[in-house]
Amino acid sequence: MPQPSRVQASPPTSGLPIPAAIQFQAEHDWPRVRQECHELLRYARQAIGELTGMEPICPDSRELYAQTATIPLPPCDAGELKQRLYDEYRVEVPIISWGGQEFSRVKVP
C-alpha cells in the first residue's frame, strides 16, 4: 500500500533568511539601534502628548514599550484624521477605537 505524502507546513526556504538577519544585526550594533529607536519613540510620545494634551497610557519605561507604543488621542473623527495625515504628510497612521476612546499606534522601525 502506498505511503501518504507528508504535508509541509511551511516552505522549505522560510528559515533561510534567519542567519543573514542575525549577521546583519551583529554587524550593525543592534542593541544600540534598538536603544536609539526607543529614545526616538520616547520623544514622539512626549511631543504627541504635548500636542494633544493627552496623558500616556503607561509610564515611560523600557519594560513597558520598546519601539511601538499606543498613544491616546482626543475625541476625533478617526477616518478624517487618517486621511488628513496621509494627504498632508503622506503618512499612514493606524487609529483604533476602544472603549469610546481613539488611539494611534506609533512605531519606530
| Structure confidence at residue 8 as a pLDDT band (50, 70, 90) | low
Mean pLDDT of 46-70: 92
Is residue 20 within 8 A of residue 28, CB to CB? The reply is: no
User: In Å, what is the CA distance from 76 to each residue of 71, 81, 100, 101, 102?
Assistant: 14, 7, 11, 9, 7
Percent above pLDDT 90 for the chain? 68
For 15-27, how does the pLDDT look when each residue is reduced to its tens digit (9 = 90+)? Answer: 778 889 999 999 9
Q: Where are the domains of the chain?
A: 19-107
What pTM, to 2 d.p., does this model score? 0.73
